Structure 1
Amino acid sequence: MDKGRVVVSWTGGKDGCFACYRAISKGFEVSHLLNFREIQRRGSHDISPDLVYAQAEALGIPLIHKDFVSYEQEFKKVVRNLRDSGEKIDGAVFGHIDTHKNLVDRICGELGLELIMPLWQRNSEQIINDLIDSGFEAILLSVKADLLGKEWLGRKINENFIRDLKNHNPSIDPCGENGEFHTFVTDGPLFKNKIKVMESEMVLRGGYWFLEISKFNVEKK
């Protein structure tokens, strides 16, 4: 059943991707992925636009990337521009679990969009287990250096990851909801093709270890 056309807030990580999957499973049609990067600083989940464009290509869904000073203003501008160009946008999908509810409530309220948050206030470990069971593949792209060493970079999100994370530090949220780590999705049930990392290096910056990917391929599954 078609529930309407939506845009998806997209960082390239597991939460937005899984929220997108859940929305599609419920009958929503995704018009565009919206990816925003802050101009003033590089954040801990800042993924190269080349990588998120590769994801969009692998998914077969158009992506709009914008640099921003104000996320809220840029998001509203993009949706209004889409509507002005003739696109029907009924709702917006976000992968937030415990944060930013007031912000996205306000954005959707002002735009007259249905707010869709499939992961909101769900148990983090259950989300990770559901992500794995659904067939998604994601790797750690950045980790908070005082909690996780650089050896965690590039690790796949799987059952072993959950076990090892608990053994390493039980206080770390399994979804990294407190900024402990950020991920990049390389494959899954929505993907027509998969992304394979070919070359990368580990860089320490701003209290985070980053896996900076310099070469990757989009390959047939």
Structure 2
Amino acid sequence: MKVAILYSGGKDSTLALHKVYKSHEVECLLTFQPASEESMLFHYPNARLVELQAKALGLPIIVRRTGNSAEEGLMALEEALKQAKNEYGIEGLVTGAIKSKYQADRFSEVCRKLGLEIFSPLWMRDEIELLREIVETGITAIITRVGAYPLKMDLLGKPINKEIISYFESLREILNPSGEGGEYETFVIDAPLFKKRIKILRSRIVGKDYDATLLIEEAELEDK
């Protein structure tokens, strides 16, 4: 089946891409650039750099700017899916949703309206198991935002690895280890399907402990 990937550039959508790559025909990526980190549906930090990831993957990408409200986000999603159907003949959408019923219900509603299947290969998986699978798959995802106590600024720029996974596991009673609720966000700089890796040339940190973002100001592709 021909599918589009709802792609934020983070760890979960990248893992979802890798999980369906052999069983479906991945035609394009869909990404959305919300007005700010207050977006109800889509990731905000470094969203514009997803176009560089698309080049690394060798996949076409459809980009839509949107406001922060769910209504604006869903309208942008519907428009992007219509374009993907017309240009690439997609029959389904793949998401990296894990346990967010809020997102899953709304994405499913749009797909039903357009006659598209929806696939969420990470759905209801244990968050720590998924983090381990991300590392085992060979996905390099760095933390680009912290948005909840007790996550501090010193996590920014660090890759998801065994040490970070153990830290999140120790906090799972008070924090969603996947970051699906905005507790933290990630940006993938390398993965098995990347033909080139992303090299960060210039970045800066804004904010404070429990509410800080690593802004990637300049990056380029380099040979692996």
2: distance between equivalents of 1:58 and 1:76?
A: 26
Structure 2 equivalent of residue 68 of structure 1 = 66
Q: Provide TM-score, normalisation by structure 2.
A: 0.88
Listed as ranges, the matches of 1:1-221 within 5 Å are 4-25=1-22, 27-39=23-35, 41-43=36-38, 45-69=43-67, 70-85=72-87, 87-99=88-100, 100-144=103-147, 146-167=149-170, 171-204=174-207, 208-221=211-224
Once the 2 structures are TM-superposed, how far is the Cα of residue 6 of structure 1 from its aligned partner? 0.6
Once the 2 structures are TM-superposed, how far is the Cα of residue 215 of structure 1 from its aligned partner? 2.0
Bigger shift: residues 209-218 or 43-52: 43-52
SS of the counterpart of 1:42?
Answer: coil
Amino acid across the alignment from 1:48: N
Structure 2 unmatched runs, 5+ = none
2: distance between equivalents of 1:28 and 1:114?
A: 12
1: distance between equivalents of 2:159 and 2:205?
A: 16
2: distance between equivalents of 1:164 and 1:83?
A: 42
Deviations 1:18-75 (A, max 9, x none): 11111113x1111111111223x33473133441111011111111111124121221
Deviations 1:80-105 (A, max 9, x none): 233334x3111000101011121111
Structure 1 unmatched runs, 5+ = none
1: distance between equivalents of 2:85 and 2:108?
A: 19
Percent of matched pairs sharing the same residue: 32
Amino acid across the alignment from 1:24: Y
Once the 2 structures are TM-superposed, how far is the Cα of residue 168 of structure 1 from its aligned partner? 6.3
SS of the counterpart of 2:121?
Answer: coil
2: distance between equivalents of 1:136 and 1:84?
A: 31
1: distance between equivalents of 2:176 and 2:142?
A: 16
- Work out whether residues 34 and 65 of structure 1, in 8 Å CA contact, stay in contact via their aligned partners in 2: yes
RMSD of aligned alpha carbons? 1.9
Distance 1:145 1:120, change over 3 A: closer
Amino acid across the alignment from 1:7: A
